[in-house]
Amino acid sequence: MKPKIIVYKKVDKKVINLLNEYFKVIYFEKLYHQSYPQFLEELKDAQGIMGSGLKVDSEFLNLAPQLKIVCNTSVGYDNLDLPALADRGIMATNTPEVLNDTVADTIMGLILSTARRIPELDHLVKTGQWETGLEEKAFGVDVHHKVLGIIGMGGIGSEVAKRAHFGFDMEILYHNRSQNQEVEQKFGATYCSMEDLLQKSDFVCLMTPLTPQTEKLMGTREFEFMKESSIFINASRGKTVDEEAMIHALQTGKILGAGLDVFVQEPVMKDNPLLFMKNVVTLPHIGSATYETRFKMAMLAATNLIAGLQGKLPPNLIK
């Protein structure tokens, strides 16, 4: 009998077909309130699950006594209680690298959109507010030859640095747990303290994973260090920022603007002040959201799942 696995996120049929060769696949395109009881029933004898965003902790694992592997279709894994998984000998995997280029493209889009006020001005044109003499009121700020500070120089950060350096002649500063000599050699990046980065950068891009150490990494103190002409970009996780402190910095003119793909609560609350600020560009957490990249992520998650349940070491085992 084939092992049972659960896929709880919509994926291409080719991915399901591949998994069907090895497993009995229970497929939920999305976990709705109505479908969750069925999901929990299927979980009782499932050996693997594949998806993203589902909180997997001790309470969840108590409902899955046969579970051997949890495969995230994402690079982030803050939804996983790794100590709880390790205590039970359950493997956990993610899908790094394959989304680096796509997320980096999104980040550059946020930088350009915020600096040049593209969403705001698009709305103005489409609502018939384009009048003679508008140009000066529509001024943005240049991106080229400016200073980009990247907090967290992992795979995505490196791709952002490459685009900024070669595409826009930007000076790259970065702060990371350790120096990255490769980005220094390839893109002329300079390693510096968090304070120096914040004080010198025209654009500050936060790209750290969410951990207990990085939660609210950007708070009142950090926004105070930034220049009033600077723009803040966050495409990591919403909780890496003290959202109230960011809102205050934007409302008081402490920083010029923000480009955000993530929020503390998602979907974002309809009364969130960020939604009413012209100097803030908001996206619905779509950094890796292209068909090509999501397909690669799902196939990589499936590869991890197959390897793990065949007694092999998954390519992307989280250690």
C-alpha–C-alpha distance, residues 211 and 177, integer Å: 13
| Bridge partner residues of 123 (DSSP) | none
* Closest listed residue to residue 84, CA positions, set 53, 112, 55, 110: 55
Instruction: Decide if 285 is catalytic.
Output: yes
Q: Name the burial class of residue 253, with classes exposed (0-12), middle (13-18) and buried (19+) by CB atoms within 10 angstroms of its CB.
A: exposed
User: CB–CB of 71/309 below 8 Å?
Assistant: no
Query: Looking at 29, 41, 195, 266, which residue is catalytic?
Result: 266
C-alpha–C-alpha distance, residues 95 and 44, integer Å: 25
Q: Name the burial class of residue 16, with classes exposed (0-12), middle (13-18) and buried (19+) by CB atoms within 10 angstroms of its CB.
A: middle
Query: Looking at 120, 237, 243, 294, which residue is catalytic?
Result: 237
Alpha helices by DSSP H, listed for the chain, are: 13-20, 36-43, 58-61, 82-87, 100-115, 118-126, 155-162, 168, 181-187, 194-200, 220-225, 243-251, 291-309
Query: Looking at 88, 116, 248, 285, which residue is catalytic?
Result: 285
C-alpha–C-alpha distance, residues 80 and 145, integer Å: 40
* Helices vs. strands in the chain: H and E counts, helices first: 13, 12
User: CB–CB of 128/105 below 8 Å?
Assistant: no
C-alpha–C-alpha distance, residues 202 and 184, integer Å: 19
- Specify the 3-state DSSP secondary structure of 16: helix
Q: Name the burial class of residue 176, with classes exposed (0-12), middle (13-18) and buried (19+) by CB atoms within 10 angstroms of its CB.
A: middle
In whole angstroms, how large is the CA radius of gyration of the chain? 22
Q: Supply the residues annotated as catalytic.
A: 237, 266, 285
